Structure 1
Amino acid sequence: MKNGYGRPFSEKSLTGMMAHWNKQAGIPEGYTLHGLRRTFGTYLAECNIQARAIMEAMGHSSMTVTDEYVREANKKRMAVDIARAINEREAKRDAMKQRTPLRVIK
């Protein structure tokens, strides 16, 4: 992105523009371009995009930072899988409790 003088925007000017746009849109303070960038990387990792593709999309020079996104997405995925398994097991257990009890017939 270039400014009206044909030069790249500085980080400070982009940050100021983002704050201005947020205010216009009624978005609370604290939302930043860097936060938006991190959200993008997190979203890619949570969509199971390959780490190399995330690295290139984010412009990282090495896999170090990219691996953080992938690691966090994997932790989140694992937590969801564990919660789902526990809920399924509890639902089966509850269903068993609701069955008519056996009775002895003579």
Structure 2
Amino acid sequence: MSAPNHGRLQASIDATPSGLDTYLVTSFGEPFGSNGFGNRMKKWCREAGLPEECTAHGLRKAGATIAAENGATEHPLMAMFGWASARQAAVYTRKANRARLAADAMHLLIPRRPQGGS
């Protein structure tokens, strides 16, 4: 299965010399496998002096969080991240919905002034 690329990502891919449908490739010019990419990403993050939690998985989680906070629902998240079940997507939508609902309801903590009266 393949998903469309974001316009900025597609522009980066189009500008790469590899001619592949990916812009991060191994030293042999081949696409990374999932484990190989994760290990290489971790190495790049360590070399850059980033914290331990900066990993490929962390970036994926950040993307899902941002999309959910921007209004993505479970099925779009499933399509974007390749999840077969809504269960994983629900982790992100529940948290985003909770924050949105809390922000929308904060005014309810202020007592209403009585109407009319003297």
**Shorter-chain TM band:** 0.5 to 0.7
Question: Aligned partners of 1:32 and 1:66: how far apart in 2?
Answer: 20
Aligned-residue CA RMSD in angstroms? Answer: 2.5
Runs of 4+ with deviation above 4 angstroms: 4-8
User: Which of 58, 66, 69 does residue 43 from structure 1 map onto?
Assistant: 66
Matched position secondary structure for 1:43: helix
Deviations 1:6-42 (A, max 9, x none): 7652333222211221123221112211111111111
Structure 1 stretches lacking a partner, 5+ long: 94-106
Question: Aligned partners of 2:35 and 2:84: how far apart in 1?
Answer: 23
The count of aligned residue pairs is 90
Highest CA radius of gyration, 1 or 2?
1
Deviations 1:35-92 (A, max 9, x none): 1111111111111123221110011112221122111111111222334543xx38x9
**Percent identity of paired positions between Structure 1 and Structure 2:** 31
